[in-house]
Amino acid sequence: MTMKPSEVINVLMKGVDCWDLPTNEVPCELLLIGEAAFPVLVNRQGQVLIAVSQYGKGRMVVMGHESYLQYTGLTPFLNNAVGWLKGCRGDVIGVHSSAKDLASILCSPCHEVQITDCIDNSLGVYCISACGTTEAKELIHFVKNGGGLLIGCQAWQWANEQCQGKVLSDFPGNHITSVAGVYFTDTYGYINCLEVSRKVPTIPLIVRFGQDLSQDQKQLLDGISELSFSLTGVPSQLLVHGALAFPLGLDKSLGCFLAAARYGRGRVVLASHQDMLWDPNLSHFLCNAVCWLAGDRQGKGKVGINPEVKDLCPLLSDCCLEHCIVPHVSDDLSVYCCQAFQDDEAKQLLEFVAEGGGLLIGGEAWSWAHDNPCGIALVDYPGNHILNHFGLSILDQTLEKSCFPVLCPEEKIYHLRLALHEVLEEPVCQGGCLVGTCLEKLKKDHETFKMMPVREIPAYASLKYFFRKFETKVDPLKLEMPIVPVHPMCD
């Protein structure tokens, strides 16, 4: 049975009275996305230093420095962590030679420990430093099939050495942990005045990292001066709420009709109406999108086209992109294209993207809402059972068709998290708070997100926590914002 995050925290923090971290080691901040990942240790600056997540049948505990795996000051927590990671699998704990001192910390009647550099499926848990590891596929397979993984590293040193390296996509540790929605970043983490939390800490609104997502926007919009669509249907609005999700097409009221996201090792492009996936007016964009979605799989697999979107085939042929009609997603594809009206492949699509696949998907939700008046599109619409994980959602609100100028990635672009952060952090006297269209859009997004039930999902609980702060700071009837202090942790 899957444990609730609050239950996991109780297990992990049993007997942990303080965070005794090595003072001479600088950890990195962790970035968390998706519905499975949540923090265990968050500092006073709101940075996540230790996190947990689940993937497939298995579990992960991720630590922001490799030294934490072998530090005796963390003995109670480390023993709790491997106990939770065992789950229902075998009792043997494998310890990689990169963390061999951990074996002496785990020496108790409860644990059978082996120092081994081989990932054996007979193991219940495997413990390893993520620095320079090359066993990504094996470790992902191990976790996916029920294994527990204790892993730690800091990515800022790697980023400094690589200079132009993209930490989210290229750092070896992220090739493993990102499938579960946890990323090492190149941001230094602070370890002063750490507090033990008996509740699930709040996930920060924004995390700074060196990789510039505007480069993704540039690639997707390359060679395009305007976005227009000729479809006869009415598009829905999209809600872009994930830390690695971003808009590609906005109308004059900042309503979104095209968006994209990174998730795990893969990528997603979302259109707000299924007909956009074969609209001739968007042919240039669609070719850009498929190339971007292929990512590292470019030339290593075909583009799979679900029969429901077979009208996309001529556009891909014009772009000389190899493709085939397939009824379902499969691992040998580089990109999969489908509609968002069913969720029968939700688990398979999530894993396909997490492990490096690209997903081109489209659909509107207003007609579903008309047929399901008691449902909430943000929660119950089948496509959102997939998309919410990626920080993207299709709403039952509609957009007017028109011709829209292309977004300029160099300029400030509306994003729910960035806008909310700006309102909460900037005093009115400094002129940094949002005004006019941006603030009105944020208010609408707030009203929409109110309908998202928390359901023990820390990502949504955290965002709602910041929206409650937003409510106290913004007068709902005016654009005046009294200053209210914001604390990064849950009460």
Burial of 208 (0-12, 13-18, 19+ CB in 10 A): exposed
Which band of pLDDT confidence, cut at 50, 70 and 90, is reported for residue 488? very low
Asked whether residue 290 is domain-assigned, the answer is yes
Note whether 317 and 391 are same-domain residues.
Answer: yes
Note whether 366 and 427 are same-domain residues.
Answer: no
Q: Number of structural domains, the chain?
A: 3
Which band of pLDDT confidence, cut at 50, 70 and 90, is reported for residue 430? very low
Cα separation, 362 vs 278, in Å, equals 10
Cβ atoms of 200 and 5 within 8 Å: the answer is yes
Asked whether residue 171 is domain-assigned, the answer is yes
Sign of CA dihedral 167, 170, 172, 174: positive
Cα separation, 380 vs 386, in Å, equals 11
CA distances 371 to 225, 241, 386, 395, Å, are 37, 26, 20, 14
307 vs 88, more confident: 307
| Neighbouring-strand partners of residue 115 | 95
Q: Last residue of a domain, which of 378, 405, 432? A: 405
Asked whether residue 432 is domain-assigned, the answer is yes
Sign of CA dihedral 209, 141, 201, 18: negative
Mean pLDDT of the chain: 90
Cα separation, 149 vs 12, in Å, equals 14
Report the Cα 467 to chain-centroid distance in Å: 19
Report the Cα 330 to chain-centroid distance in Å: 22
Note whether 318 and 380 are same-domain residues.
Answer: yes
Note whether 226 and 274 are same-domain residues.
Answer: yes
The pLDDT tens digits for 130-147 are 987 778 999 999 999 999
Note whether 265 and 387 are same-domain residues.
Answer: yes
Cα separation, 383 vs 391, in Å, equals 12
Cα separation, 440 vs 444, in Å, equals 6
Phi and psi at residue 72, to the nearest 5°: -65, -25
Note whether 86 and 114 are same-domain residues.
Answer: yes
The whole-number average pLDDT for the span 79-95 is: 88
> What six digits make up the tokens of 353?
């993207």
Beta strands in 341-421 (DSSP E): 358-362, 392-398, 403-405
Query: How would you classify the pairing of strands 302-305 and 266-271?
Result: unpaired
232 vs 259, more confident: 259
Asked whether residue 196 is domain-assigned, the answer is no
Side chain identity at residue 220, one-letter code: L
CA distances 368 to 139, 206, 375, 380, Å, are 40, 32, 9, 10
Cβ atoms of 6 and 457 within 8 Å: the answer is no
The whole-number average pLDDT for the span 307-327 is: 95
The pLDDT tens digits for 45-84 are 999 999 999 999 999 999 999 999 999 999 999 999 999 9
Radius of gyration of the chain (CA): 23
Query: How would you classify the pairing of strands 226-228 and 403-405?
Result: antiparallel
The pLDDT assigned to 486 comes to 33
Which band of pLDDT confidence, cut at 50, 70 and 90, is reported for residue 475? low
Note whether 160 and 57 are same-domain residues.
Answer: yes
Note whether 14 and 112 are same-domain residues.
Answer: yes
Note whether 113 and 228 are same-domain residues.
Answer: no
Note whether 232 and 152 are same-domain residues.
Answer: no
Which band of pLDDT confidence, cut at 50, 70 and 90, is reported for residue 312? very high
Asked whether residue 199 is domain-assigned, the answer is no
The pLDDT assigned to 373 comes to 94
Cβ atoms of 179 and 466 within 8 Å: the answer is no
The pLDDT assigned to 410 comes to 65
Write down the residue that tokens 């909430």 correspond to: 376
The DSSP H or E segment spanning 80 is: helix 75-86
Asked whether residue 483 is domain-assigned, the answer is no
> What six digits make up the tokens of 92?
């043997």
Note whether 336 and 236 are same-domain residues.
Answer: yes
Q: What is the pTM of this model?
A: 0.93
Note whether 238 and 174 are same-domain residues.
Answer: no
Cα separation, 205 vs 459, in Å, equals 10
Q: Last residue of a domain, which of 367, 384, 405? A: 405
Asked whether residue 65 is domain-assigned, the answer is yes
CB neighbourhood size of 54 (10 A): 20
Asked whether residue 425 is domain-assigned, the answer is yes
Cα separation, 345 vs 342, in Å, equals 8
The pLDDT assigned to 297 comes to 79
> What six digits make up the tokens of 300?
């290593």
Cα separation, 221 vs 409, in Å, equals 9
> What six digits make up the tokens of 104?
């002496």
Residues near 425 by beta carbon (within 8 Å), at least 6 away in sequence: 432, 486
The whole-number average pLDDT for the span 241-252 is: 94
Residues of the domain holding 395: 214-405
